[in-house]
Structure 1
Amino acid sequence: MSTFNVRPDIDAAAAKLGSTLGAGREINHLPEVLWDGEQVEMLATGVYGKGNGLLAMTNLRLIFFKHGITGQQVEDFPYSKISSVQWAGGMLGGTLIVFASGNKAEIKQVPKAAGKGFADKLRMHIATGSVPGSPAAPPAPAVPQQQDVAGRLATLDQLRGVGAITDAEYQDRRTAIINSI
């Protein structure tokens, strides 16, 4: 398995790929197509349009990115425009079908585990409207304060683990969470 040193969020997502064969160039150039503040949540390989590329799920949109020697292809699907998602899996891989703004995009040869994970997470984004600028999700049921604090501390540990916050920020936020009890 290849290791990358691009950005903490991209490196963490790339580390979960079963194989980066045919996607190394895309992983290295992915920051060029990301928006300010956009964070990568998941990556997978697949075939769309004219060839093999990288499927990236961020906190704002789904991106298919193909970076070739002579050019590149970028197609994005903001979550607010996605109306439906289908996953058709086979023995090793399958096809992720995204319906957005009246169009249908079929991304083929997506590894089975990654494709199912993408479909499930896209459905969650659609169902909850959990993206900036989309209608508010229904209020979550009340969570006992002890569980809320534990969840907040776990999230904070994850952010520090992927390098999204510094040790000093971690200590400040941890102290603030504990003081809120």
Structure 2
Amino acid sequence: MPTILRTIHWTVLAGAGDPVALITAAVEPTDFSITSASPTSIVIDVPRAMLKNRWGATITGTLTPGTKGTDIEWVVDGLGNKHYEHMVTIGEGMPDGSLDDHGIPDAAAKVALKVFGRKEIRHLANVLDFGEYVYAIGVGALGGKMGIAALTDRRLIFLEKSIGSENVVEFSLASIGALSLGKKMGGETLTITHSGTSATITGMGHGQGDAISRKFRELKEQPTTTAIPTVAAPADPIAQIERLAALRDKGVLSEDEFQAQKTQLLGSM
């Protein structure tokens, strides 16, 4: 049976601490284990657990300097449909404020998301790209399935409620011709006109569809500007060696592994 690959983006914010050490601490109380770690990569093993109805998986993270801190591109390789759930499990062990929250808490605080919990809000962050920002959020039904509707600076996303679900419907801002707000006995409706077709999210709470449609109009009215590319600063070899020493002291790296990587980093100076 072929495995499934899912890519997930995290950003550990500058000043939060050493990303590898934070992730190591987050994994420790789980039944996951770190099989290798360095300043630029980390591999986590998720064992199969029959009682938890969970297939085994391998999670590989690639760490690179980013504009807000350290960007991590995770690739979850495994069977089943718990790829996102694995990352939620690890994320729950990360200190509050250590990860880029993409503006989700602020957007969620403005509306009543009674049918969604902490894990499901964290799940939304799993499907966002580096630096993507959520302006408005709501809860409704699309195609008969309940989910979160989130307007970001790049797209409108509809994510099914279940963490196990991997069904994400998205509409790029450029493809959306209009967002039309309606009201019914069951709540607000939001009709998305895009690429010559339409889709309607129904049963949204009071003000949720309105907030999304208002922000969409603001974004469409903003003048287009040419983005100026930024160049990430090169990693500091001394800081990387300090991270390696911390991992050696925690037992994640052996003395031989530490010395080998230290030699390599010194040679790059």
User: Could you tell which deviates more after superposition, 111-120 or 55-64?
Assistant: 111-120
The answer to whether the 8 Å contact 1:87/1:97 transfers is yes
What's the C-alpha RMSD, in Å, of the aligned pairs? 2.7
Deviation of the 1:11 alpha carbon:
1.4
Aligned positions, number: 130
Q: 2:204 aligns with which of 110, 114, 118?
A: 110
More strand by share: 2
Distance 1:113 1:67, change over 3 A: closer
Letter in 2 for 1:80: A
* Separation (CA, whole Å) in 2 of partners of 1:124 and 1:87: 15
User: Could you tell which deviates more after superposition, 43-52 or 68-77?
Assistant: 68-77
Matched with 2:240 is none
> Tell me, which stretches of 5 or more residues in structure 2 are unaligned?
1-91, 228-269
Letter in 2 for 1:109: G
Deviation of the 1:24 alpha carbon:
4.8
Letter in 1 for 2:154: L
Matched with 1:168 is none
SS of 2:207's partner is: helix
Q: Percent identity?
A: 29
The aligned runs of 1:1-181 (5 Å cut-off) are 7=101, 9-22=103-116, 24-68=118-162, 70-90=164-184, 93-128=187-222
> Tell me, which stretches of 5 or more residues in structure 1 are unaligned?
134-181
SS of 1:68's partner is: coil
Moved over 4 A (4+): 129-133
Deviation of the 1:48 alpha carbon:
0.6
Deviation of the 1:68 alpha carbon:
2.2
* TM-score of the two chains, using structure 1 as the length reference: 0.62
Deviation of the 1:23 alpha carbon:
5.8
Deviation of the 1:53 alpha carbon:
0.4
Larger Rg: 2
* Separation (CA, whole Å) in 1 of partners of 2:109 and 2:120: 14
The answer to whether the 8 Å contact 1:96/1:108 transfers is yes
Deviation of the 1:39 alpha carbon:
0.9
* TM-score of the two chains, using structure 2 as the length reference: 0.43
